Amino acid sequence: MRSLRHVSRETRPPALGPPPVDQHRAARARIAVCVPIRDESEYLTDLLDAFAVQTAAPDSFVLCLLFDGCNDDGEARVAARLPSLKFAVSVRRIERAPQANAGRARRAAMALGQNVLARAPAGEGPPKLLLTTDADSVPAPDWIEANARALADVDVVAGYIERPDAPAHDVHRRIERYWERLRCLQRTVDPLGHDPAPSHPSQGGASLGFRAGVYDALGGFPACASHEDVGLVTAARRAGYRVRHDRDVRVATSSRTDGRASRGLAYTLRQRQVATAPPRVQDPDAAMERYLRCAEVRAAFARLDDDAVAQALATRTRLPTPQLRRLAADCGNAEAFTMHLVPEPENAEELALERAERRVARLEHTYGCPCR
């Protein structure tokens, strides 16, 4: 697997002191769960409770909590719980930046996890894994085990994020459901062995898992104010790593409207609340045209040594056959090749959500989508 050269390698996270972690309990741990926290003490009891009931063995993971210059009592709350917890916890604090930077904080949380895993014994055993979630999220009891199962087959896993506290009339949940239906359609007409239908579209930091070596090769989360999660997952796909969007890896997150990231989920939900115009979404027919093009390119990837196949794709893409073959050789797999030749549209065609829902229902029927 090639390392990713074009991912920005940001300045290293701020220097951190030795982690106060129970070395005896952490000695066998090969999984680090990394959580960035910024003034979120009200959520930490539920977070710790969620890891206390994980089906994974308590000595198989370390919970790494990165306090991003917090001004509340979160650290004290965690300290009070430490004696009663059966799993190891590593806690560190970085200086508060003038402006919240979700990427900087998550990168530092993952660096804490990397330091913990570096202490784990080398040699045979389960692969070392880096998982991340958010302070306002509650992973399902089998979340760690589900991540480990998925990462036995793939390089990166994006979990399914639910919002159980969303109101019944929540417009954004309806939009999320629409995007889920589109993703199921995509994987139905353009199957991907390591990410089968129904899949899901989420790539949020509330549930991401990496093989530790893959995360290292990617250079880590970029220190950007928001969308560090989507950026790194997209970069992994483009580099040829296998990314699975797994509905069996589940986490519940809050519908808060004041979050860490400047333009994260909380910002989106806040914008939905004040919007007066009906929501508009990607045109499903235009999306389907793109999915079918992706399927064509993906099918050609493994057969480019056939001159007829290569010439047909060259005509379709208006690229010389030698250039197509060089690109295929440089790509780690068909997914990376497809992303290069059929990029995501910058300004996708849109239409009203209600109309799009009717049209996507027809497409689901036409193509036998399992989500219908």
pLDDT, one tens digit per residue, over 63-79 is 999 999 999 999 999 99
| pLDDT surpasses 90 at 164 | no
Please give the model's pTM, rounded to 2 decimal places: 0.88
The tally of domains found in the chain comes to 2
Residue 206 near residue 161, CB atoms below 8 Å: yes
Tell me the residue type at 333.
Answer: N
Provide the 3-class DSSP secondary structure of residue 261.
coil
What residues pair up with 131 in beta bridges, in sequence order?
A: 33, 209
Residues 161 and 89 in one domain: yes
Residue indicated by tokens 């880590």: 220
What residues pair up with 221 in beta bridges, in sequence order?
A: none
Distance (Å, whole) CA 133 – CA 106: 9
pLDDT of 10 reads 38
| pLDDT surpasses 70 at 255 | no
Mean pLDDT, residues 109-128: 89
Distance (Å, whole) CA 61 – CA 131: 10
Residues 210 and 336 in one domain: no
Residue indicated by tokens 């890896």: 249
Distance (Å, whole) CA 105 – CA 117: 19
Q: Which of these three, 216, 245, 270, is where a domain ends?
A: 270
The CATH number linked to 239 is 3.90.550.10
pLDDT of 225 reads 81
Per DSSP bridges, beta strands 61-68 and 88-94 are: parallel
Q: How many of the other CB atoms lie within 10 Å of CB of 135?
A: 27
Mean pLDDT, residues 218-229: 91
Residue partners of 319: CB distance under 8 A and separation at least 6? 327, 341
Inside any domain, residue 369: no
Residue 133 near residue 207, CB atoms below 8 Å: yes
Expressed as residue numbers, the domain containing 329 is: 284-348
CA angle 18, 21, 27 (to 5 degrees): 110
Distance (Å, whole) CA 357 – CA 278: 13
Residues 88 and 201 in one domain: yes
Residues 304 and 236 in one domain: no
Distance (Å, whole) CA 94 – CA 302: 48
Q: Which of these three, 246, 270, 294, is where a domain ends?
A: 270
Average pLDDT, the chain: 88
Q: Confidence band (pLDDT; 50, 70, 90) for 19? A: very low
Residue partners of 315: CB distance under 8 A and separation at least 6? none
CA nearest to 217, candidates 227, 202, 232? 232
| pLDDT surpasses 80 at 165 | no
Mean pLDDT, residues 322-334: 94
pLDDT, one tens digit per residue, over 280-312 is 899 999 999 999 999 999 999 999 999 999 999
Residues 115 and 215 in one domain: yes
Residue 198 near residue 184, CB atoms below 8 Å: yes
Q: Confidence band (pLDDT; 50, 70, 90) for 266? A: low
Residue 136 near residue 253, CB atoms below 8 Å: yes
pLDDT of 198 reads 94
Residues 199 and 341 in one domain: no
Q: Which of these three, 221, 247, 270, is where a domain ends?
A: 270
pLDDT of 16 reads 45
| pLDDT surpasses 80 at 120 | yes
CA angle 319, 324, 325 (to 5 degrees): 150
Residues 27 and 152 in one domain: yes
The H-or-E segment that residue 252 falls in is strand 243-253
| pLDDT surpasses 70 at 270 | no
pLDDT of 20 reads 52
Q: Confidence band (pLDDT; 50, 70, 90) for 3? A: very low
Inside any domain, residue 201: yes
Distance (Å, whole) CA 32 – CA 131: 6
pLDDT, one tens digit per residue, over 140-161 is 999 999 999 999 999 999 999 9
| pLDDT surpasses 80 at 95 | yes
